[in-house]
Amino acid sequence: HVDTRKIPYNSLIDGDICIIGAGAAGVCIALDWMESGYKVILLEGGGFEYEQKMQDLYRGKSTGQKYYPLHGTRLHYFGGTTGHWAGMCSPFDEIDFMERDWVPESGWPYSKEDLDPFYAKAQEVLKLGPYEYDLEYWQKEEDDLTPFPLNDNIVYPKMWQFSQARFGKLYKEEVINAKSIHLYTYANVVDIVAEENMALIKELKIKNHEGKTHTVRANQFIMACGAIQNARMLLASNSQVESGLGNGNDLVGRYFMEHLEIATGQLWLFNSFQDKLYTRWGEPRAELAITKEAQMEHKILNGTLSLTELSVAKHIVPRMELLQVDDYNEAVDRFFGNMADSEEKAKSDQTLNINKAYEFQIRIEQAPNPSSRITLGNEKDALGVPRIVFNWDLTELDKDSIRKINWIVGEEMGKANFGRVKLEKYLQDPDDYSWPSGTNAGWHHMGTTTLNNDPKKGVVDEHCQVHGIDNLYVAGSGCYPTSGTSNPTLTLVALSLKLSEHLKSKVKNKEVLIASS
Contact (Cβ atoms closer than 8 angstroms) between residue 474 and residue 464? yes
> ∠ at Cα 454 (453, 458), nearest 5°?
85
The 10 Å CB-count burial string (b at 16+, else e) for 165-193 is bbbbebbbeebeebebbbbbbbbbbbbbe
What is the per-residue DSSP string for 251-265? -TT---B-EEEEEEE
Give the side-chain half-sphere CA count within 13 A for 478: 31
Q: What is the mean pLDDT of residues 11-24?
A: 98
Q: What is the mean pLDDT of residues 144-163?
A: 95
| Cα separation, 221 vs 231, whole angstroms | 15
Quick one: pLDDT at residue 464?
A: 98
Which residues neighbour 254 within 8 Å (Cβ) at sequence distance 6 or greater? 370, 372, 373, 374, 447, 448, 450
Quick one: pLDDT at residue 211?
A: 94
Q: What is the mean pLDDT of residues 454-465?
A: 98
| Cα separation, 115 vs 120, whole angstroms | 9
Give the side-chain half-sphere CA count within 13 A for 171: 30
**pLDDT bracket for residue 344 (50, 70, 90):** confident
What is the tens place of the pLDDT at every residue in 461-499? 999 999 999 999 999 999 999 999 999 999 999 999 999
Assign 3-state DSSP to the chain and report helix, strand, coil percentages, each to 5. 30, 25, 45
Least confidently predicted of 79-88, 146-155, 352-361, 419-428: 352-361
What is the tens place of the pLDDT at every residue in 47-74? 999 999 999 999 999 999 999 999 989 9
Quick one: pLDDT at residue 311?
A: 87
Q: What is the mean pLDDT of residues 379-408?
A: 97
What is the tens place of the pLDDT at every residue in 253-281? 999 999 999 999 999 999 888 778 998 77
Quick one: pLDDT at residue 353?
A: 53
What is the tens place of the pLDDT at every residue in 306-340? 999 898 898 899 889 988 988 878 888 888 899 88
Helix (H, G, I), strand (E, B) or coil at 123: helix
Q: Kindly report whether the peptide bond that precedes residue 386 is cis, defined as omega within 30 degrees of 0.
A: no
Pairing of strands 220-223, 17-20: parallel
* One-letter identity of residue 506: K
Q: What is the mean pLDDT of residues 131-137?
A: 96
What's the mean per-residue pLDDT of the chain? 94
Contact (Cβ atoms closer than 8 angstroms) between residue 449 and residue 460? yes
